[in-house]
Amino acid sequence: MAAPSSMTAKTANVMLTIPEKKTVSLDLYRPLRNYIVYNYSEREAQNLEDDLQTLKQFRSDIERGPNESSLPARRDLLQNYYKALCAVESRFPISPDHDHINSVTFTWYDAFKNKLKAAQQNIYLEKAAVLFNLGAVHSQMGLGFDRSSVEGRRQGSHSFIAAAGAFAFLRDNVAMKASMGSSNTVDVSVECAGMLERLMLAQAQECVFENSIAKGNTPGVCAKISRQVGLFYEEALAALNVAPLNQHFDKAWLAHVQLKASLFYAEACYRYSLELHDKEEIAEEIARLKSGVNALSGARKTSPRGAPQQLLDAITKLEASSNLNLEKAIKENDRVYLMRVPPASSLPPLAAFSLVKPMQMNDILDASKEKMFSSLVPDNSTKALSRYTEMVDDVIRTQTEKLQQGSELARVRLREMDLPDSILALEGNLSLPAALKEDVEAVQICGGPAGLDAEMQQLRDLKRVNQELLVQTEELLQKEATEDTQFRTQFGTRWTRPQSTTLTKNLQDRLNRFAANLKQAAESDARIERSVRDHAALMSILDCRPIESALPTLARPILSLDATEDAIVGALKQSLRQLETLGAQRAGLEDVLKEMKRKDDILPKLMTFTGSQEDLFRKEIAKYDHLCEEISQNLEAQEQLLLQIQAQNDEFASIFNLEDYKVSRERIYKQIEAAIMKYQEIKENINEGLKFYVTLQEAITNVKQQCSDFVMTRNMQCREMIEDVQRQISGLSFQDNKSSSGYTYPSVGHAHQPPRSNPQMPTETGHIPSPSRPHQAPTYQPPPQQPTMSGYSQTSPPYSSPQPPAPPAQQPTMSGYTQTSPPYSSPQPPYGFPGQGQGQPYSHPQPHPQYQQQPPPSHEYGQPAYPGWRGPYYNAPPQQPGAMPQPPYTAPSPYPHPPPHQSGYYRQ
């Protein structure tokens, strides 16, 4: 056989290049600036001055033509200018409309017929021309590489691929919009852009074929690559033979494309025949060689004039090589193989293998990151962005709800199957439910049941302190009364001072009520102590030891027939782990959705996108499709897994007798709840008792202080009266109108004043002159309304206990008490004491309702006020008959019984 064809070397520089379109000078600066000033502001125009100058420079460089700069610089200029035009398009409406920029007209000449031109007030003509020139520059770069080397052919192929990409982008995105004007040229039409794309791909594949020959690839591979070159040329030739291109291009173009198509078809036949000869398929080899030779002969005869001589020489050389191999194959078949040669029409098409495709220009020409005029955002773009944001929010909301519903479904289904609690119980690791565990921890933090004894001791200590204070207070009054009686006995009628028992009646009443309160509080304390003892066994489960040890365990069956328990448990655990993995995946998908939404900003794309906004929205929202699919797959997998877990759990429950275990566990839970309830009830009662004793101690302390003030005043008066009586006895008489009957004595509840002499003894106790104003009756001002402790009623206190004197300033309210209703009106608690609502045995001392608003004091015996006066606790109106009898109070213990009208503590 003849050696492979050397056609490649002889056709090294026989390729076509695309000329650039030419334009006329145009000023974009002034119209755009005027538009900014009119629609925005002069300041905005000043801020965008750099962008306007840059755009003006781009247009000026485009107008100068390709001869003043290198091809790579020209390529970069065209790409940058195209992205700038995208920014201009979305912000500046250029059209003949009155409200638009109608002073800009783009004019471009046809690249193949320079006398034809198009002039439109349409930015798409400008963009189409720029894209056409970009493809032309890439074609010129491809032809400029030295294709005699492997690297030169590789770079040339890459440039032709880029040129094909530019023409494809022009065809798909701009050509149709540019041809809608009344004035247009054929070179930027859809048909011409498609033809040029096929032509550039043919030349790129031709470079690949040349490299495959240089690398020594097998004839079969070279045949497939060569056939694809021919197919690209055939597609370009088909476009050139129909309107509107059949009369637009020079005949040399048509001859070149036609000869190249035939040449590479014959080359494919020649390369494929070499492979057939090696396989000894002589009949098909002869048929392929004849088909190639016929194609070359027909192309030479029908080709228009003007074809390059190099192409014609390559065709002659390939035809000679094909004929030589054909003669040899025919002789071998006639002498050896004797095969019937099939007709060319019966042969299958030659296989083709494309190694090139148009370069994707979307990223290269993407203007979404273009900063030019970025501060100008038209209203329509803002509204469109809002609409897209709503679409994204709807997707995120829908998918998030699906994820959350899936997680909730898993939790509910597991809870229904009592998982994983039953597995933990089998392993001895079961814990209390969260709410019950928190209550138990709260009990143990407070010291547990054992801590109640310490708090009971506090109650006892506080009770003892209150009793001691009462005794000390009573002793003060008794001592003063004893001294007064002694002097009254000693001096007889000369001792005109009122008796102590008359002045201390209110104080004694209060002390008696305090004593009665303490007695009933002691009974309440005893009931609490009995409750602690009676329920110690119930509350022992709340001890500080781990309460989980009290829970039952799920035991294995005593008798196993087939020993499959471990396998069943293992399979169930594995399924639960898989379910947990799916849950973690859902959490991750939800985070991805939120992060994707956070980063999804399409405003730059929206500002530069030239097509339909709905198309852009569909394209952008499709970014979330894969996440939506993953979510659906996750939920479907979970549903199948839950069905599997249900079957495994049924088998597990039947083997391990799960129902009996649940009954035991619920019984323990109820026991713990009952223990917590009883503990909280007792704890609340103790706390109420502590509050009671603390408040009562303050009240007794105040009364004790007032008793001390009273005794001190009486002692001072006693000394003065003794001196006066002694002077009378000794016969000394002073003429200062001072007599024993003129002394003023303190009535309980008045501040101490130094005794003053009066001209005469007043006859009516209600008109005693004031020490400081001898002839004016004192005016009683009721104290400010005392704030009540929250939870205690002012109108109907639960216990009519004696009250401490209210301090002058308002006392802080104590939480847990109300102003209108008593706190013990609810039904008996399950573990309460008789007669106590809410299990609370104590109430704080409160002012009796009759002491809230009092008339002015009568000032019996005309005594001035003494230190320690506290308002409503003293000078109370007289008791109604039978309302508050005066029980004797002589010793700290035993205390008298509470008066009949008092409700008492834990009333029996």
What CATH number should be reported for the domain holding residue 491?
1.20.140.50
User: Would 633 be classed as within a structural domain?
Assistant: yes
Pairwise CA distance, residues 88 & 123, whole Å: 9
As a whole number of angstroms, the longest Cα–Cα distance in the chain is 186
> Do 602 and 479 belong together in one domain?
no
Q: Does residue 14 form part of some domain?
A: no
- Same structural domain for residues 617 and 533? no
State how far the Cα of 397 lies from the Cα of 407, in Å rounded to an integer. 15
Cα 856 to Cα 683, 762, 880: the distances in Å are: 44, 18, 18
Q: What is the dihedral of CA 84, 85, 88, 93, to 10 degrees?
A: 180
Question: Is there a contact between 799 and 847 (Cβ–Cβ < 8 Å)?
Answer: no
CA distance 221 to 352: 9
Contacts of 59 (CB under 8 A, 6+ apart): 26, 28, 81
DSSP 223-283: HHHHHHHHHHHHHHHHHHTSTTTTTTS-HHHHHHHHHHHHHHHHHHHHHHHHHHHHTT-HH
Radius of gyration of the chain measured on its C-alpha atoms: 56
Query: For each successive 10 residues of the chain (908 residues), what is the average pLDDT?
Result: 47 80 94 91 93 94 82 95 90 87 93 93 94 96 91 95 97 90 89 96 96 93 95 96 91 92 95 91 91 91 81 91 92 85 88 94 87 78 78 90 92 86 70 76 81 87 92 91 89 85 89 92 91 85 68 61 71 89 92 88 70 80 91 94 89 74 78 87 91 93 93 91 86 47 43 38 34 35 37 33 40 34 34 38 46 37 32 36 36 37 34
- Give the residue from 186, 145, 183, 189 showing the smallest Cα distance to 167: 189
Q: Is residue 158 part of a domain?
A: no
Examine the domain organization and report whether 652 and 674 are in the same domain.
no
Q: Tell me, yes or no, whether 539 and 441 share the same domain.
A: yes
Co-location of 506 and 467 in the same domain = yes
CA distances from 368 to 8, 85, 152, 372 (A): 44, 12, 34, 10
Residue 426 inside a domain? The answer is no
Specify the amino acid at residue 302.
T
* φ/ψ (deg, to 5) at 180: -80, -10
Given a contact cutoff of 8 angstroms between Cβ atoms, the answer to whether 195 and 236 are in contact is: yes
Structural domain count, the chain: 2
Q: How far apart are alpha carbons 908 and 892 in whole angstroms?
A: 24
Whether residues 444 and 500 share a domain: the answer is yes
- Give, rounded to a whole angstrom, the gap between the first and last alpha carbons of the chain: 130
- The CA-CA-CA angle for residues 295, 298, 301, to 5°, reads 150
Quick count: other Cβ atoms within 10 Å of Cβ 496?
18
| Residue at 815: amino acid letter | S
DSSP string, 274-320: HHHHHTT-HHHHHHHHHHHHHHHHHHHHHPPTT--HHHHHHHHHHHH
User: What per-residue confidence (pLDDT) applies to 386?
Assistant: 81
- Would residue 623 count as lying in a domain? yes
Q: Which of 621, 656, 691 is the last residue of a domain?
A: 656
Is 160 in contact with 138 (CB distance < 8 Å)?
yes
Q: Give the residue from 726, 748, 767 where a domain finishes.
A: 726
pLDDT of residue 553: 66
Nearest C-alpha neighbor of 134 from the set 193, 76, 201: 76
A 10 A CB-CB count for 183 gives 14
One domain, residues 394 and 535: no
CB proximity list for 802: less than 8 A, separation 6 or greater: 509, 510, 511, 512, 513, 514, 516, 517, 699, 845
Q: Residue 363 is which amino acid?
A: D
- Residue type for position 345: S
Cis peptide before 244 (omega within 30 of 0): yes
Residue 773 lies in a domain: no
- Asked if 531 and 454 sit in the same domain, the reply is yes
| Final residue in a domain of this structure, among 634, 656, 678 | 656
Could you say which DSSP state residue 333 is in? I
Please give the pLDDT value at position 545: 66
What secondary structure does DSSP assign to 146-207, as a single string? -TTSHHHHHHHHHHHHHHHHHHHHIIIIIHHHHTTSSS--GGGSHHHHHHHHHHHHHHHHHH
Predicted local distance difference test score (pLDDT) of residue 611: 67
> How would you classify the pairing of strands 106-109 and 117-120?
antiparallel
pTM: 0.54
Instruction: Decide if 469 is inside a domain.
Output: yes
The backbone torsions φ and ψ at residue 107, rounded to the nearest 5 degrees and listed phi first, read -125, 125
For residue 852, how far is the Cα from the chain centroid? 56
- State the residue range of the domain holding 686: 434-553+668-726
CA dist., res. 155 & res. 141, Å (int): 9
Spell out the residues 6+ positions from residue 38 whose beta carbon is closer than 8 angstroms to its own: none
Nearest to 874 by CA among 747, 782, 766, 768: 747
For 867, what's the count of Cα atoms within 13 Å in the CB-facing half-sphere?
A: 11
- Residues 472 and 527 grouped into a single domain: yes
Helix (H), strand (E) counts: the chain: 25, 2
Q: Is residue 862 part of a domain?
A: no
Question: Rounded CA gap, 206 and 211, in Å?
Answer: 9
Cβ-based neighbour number of residue 334 at 10 Å: 11
Same domain? 701 vs 639:
no
Same domain for 628 and 521: no
| Residue pair 269/288 in contact by the 8 Å Cβ criterion | yes
Nearest-angstrom CA–CA distance, 421 and 102:
77
Report the alpha-carbon distance of residue 271 to residue 265 in Å, rounded.
Answer: 10
Please report the DSSP string for 667-716 in residue order. Answer: HHHHHHHHHHHHHHHHHHHHHHHHHHHHHHHHHHHHHHHHHHHHHHHHHH
Tokens read off for 560: 């196993």
123 and 178 in contact (C-beta within 8 Å)? no
Task: Give every CB contact of residue 598 below 8 A, 6+ residues apart in sequence.
Answer: none
CA distance 440 to 544: 9
* Adjacent-strand bridge partners of 119: 107
Residue 687 identity = N
Closest residue by Cα to residue 696 from 456, 895, 470, 871: 470
Q: Please tell me whether residues 450 and 514 are part of one structural domain.
A: yes
Distant-in-sequence, close-in-space partners of 185: CB < 8 Å, separation ≥ 6? 108, 109, 110, 113, 116, 117, 118
Give the number of C-alpha atoms closer than 13 A to the C-alpha of residue 790, restricted to the C-beta side: 5
